[in-house]
């Protein structure tokens, strides 16, 4: 059995009772960053073997992990924050488990884009999740296409690139397109800034940016 276990995006109290129980019962924990996961495990007094599983080693270790699962081990995969597989490692292992007829179960839990979308005030009955935009190759083509999108669009972005990305979005989508930027969700200094792309870009250009970022942009009028 492979469990995919969402972890808090900020506030450690956002773990579910079931997620804690799964981590306590698993034979082996797979962690994107063992140091980050150590803080969560210590908080909930969980002592289990932890092995790294991230984008730099997943191709090397995936078949060994599948063999262990076939032998009867139960594993739980957790990332630094949020749900495994959402802009984080998980797809490769899940695919190989399914091919090997190993049961995979994903627990419900934290994902940064959901609260950002819900509190944005923008239409949420239909939306497109884009994750991180490509840094260079394909960026122009994708932004040109997304400018015509008739659904609300959700992006992840780093604080270092936020202002540049907002300015680019204003160029491709128009400066008056409504947007919402959520920063440090569930943490002490959570901030949700709403306005037009031009307004929000100017705000963060003057203020500066820290923390994890989710950008929500309204659909084409």
Task: Tell me the pairing of strands 178-183 and 191-196.
Answer: antiparallel
Q: What is residue 182's three-state secondary structure?
A: strand
Please check whether residues 67 and 144 belong to one and the same domain: no
- Please tell me the predicted confidence (pLDDT) of residue 87: 87
Phi, psi angle pair for 82, to nearest 5°? 90, -165
Range of the domain at 203: 113-217
For residue 178, how far is the Cα from the chain centroid? 22
Last residue of some domain: 55, 85, 106? 106
CB-CB contact of 25 with 203 (8 Å): no
- The reply to whether 36 and 130 lie within a common domain is no
Whole-angstrom distance, CA of residue 150 vs CA of residue 220: 5
pLDDT at 208: 86
Q: What's residue 13's pLDDT? A: 93
Q: Is 6 helix (H, G, I), strand (E, B) or coil?
A: coil
Q: Are 135 and 127 in contact (CB under 8 A)?
A: no
> Which domain CATH number covers 147?
3.30.950.10
| pLDDT block averages, 10 residues each, the chain of length 221 | 96 95 97 94 96 94 97 96 92 97 96 96 96 93 97 97 97 98 95 98 94 96 91
Same-domain status, 52 and 144 = no
Give the pLDDT confidence score for residue 143 in this predicted structure: 97
Question: 210 and 132 share a domain?
Answer: yes
Q: Which residues pair with 79 in a beta bridge?
A: none
> Contact at 8 Å (CB) between 79 and 88?
yes
Say if residue 102 is in the same domain as residue 117. no
pTM of the model: 0.91
Using a 10 angstrom Cβ sphere, with 0-12 exposed, 13-18 middle and 19 or more buried, the burial of residue 148 is exposed
CATH code, domain with 65: 3.40.1010.10
**Residue where a domain stops, chosen among 89, 106, 123:** 106
Task: Provide the 10 A C-beta neighbour count for residue 72.
Answer: 8
Pairing verdict, β 213-217 and 152-157: antiparallel
- Give the residues across from 188 on adjacent strands: none
Copy the structure tokens of residue 86. Answer: 């959402």
DSSP helix/strand/coil, 165: helix
């Amino acid at each position: 059995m492979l469990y995919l276990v969402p972890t808090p995006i900020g506030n450690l109290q956002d773990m579910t009772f079931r997620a804690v129980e799964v981590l306590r019962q698993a034979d082996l924990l797979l962690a994107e960053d063992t140091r980050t996961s150590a803080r969560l495990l210590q908080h909930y007094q969980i002592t289990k073997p932890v092995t790294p599983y991230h984008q730099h080693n997943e191709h090397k270790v995936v078949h060994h992990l599948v063999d262990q699962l076939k032998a009867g081990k139960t594993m739980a995969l957790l990332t630094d924050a949020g749900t495994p597989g959402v802009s984080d490692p998980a797809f490769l292992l899940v695919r190989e488990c399914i091919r090997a007829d190993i049961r995979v179960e994903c627990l419900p839990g934290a994902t940064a884009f959901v609260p950002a979308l819900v509190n944005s005030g923008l239409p949420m009955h239909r939306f497109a999740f884009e994750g991180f935009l490509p840094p260079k190759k394909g960026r122009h083509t994708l932004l040109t296409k997304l400018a015509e999108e008739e659904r609300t669009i959700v992006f992840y972005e780093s604080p270092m690139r936020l202002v540049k990305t907002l300015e680019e979005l204003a160029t491709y989508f128009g400066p008056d397109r409504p947007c919402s930027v959520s920063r440090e969700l569930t943490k002490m200094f959570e901030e949700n800034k709403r306005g037009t792309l031009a307004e929000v870009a100017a705000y963060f250009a003057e203020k500066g940016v820290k923390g994890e970022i989710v950008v929500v942009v309204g659909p084409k009028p």
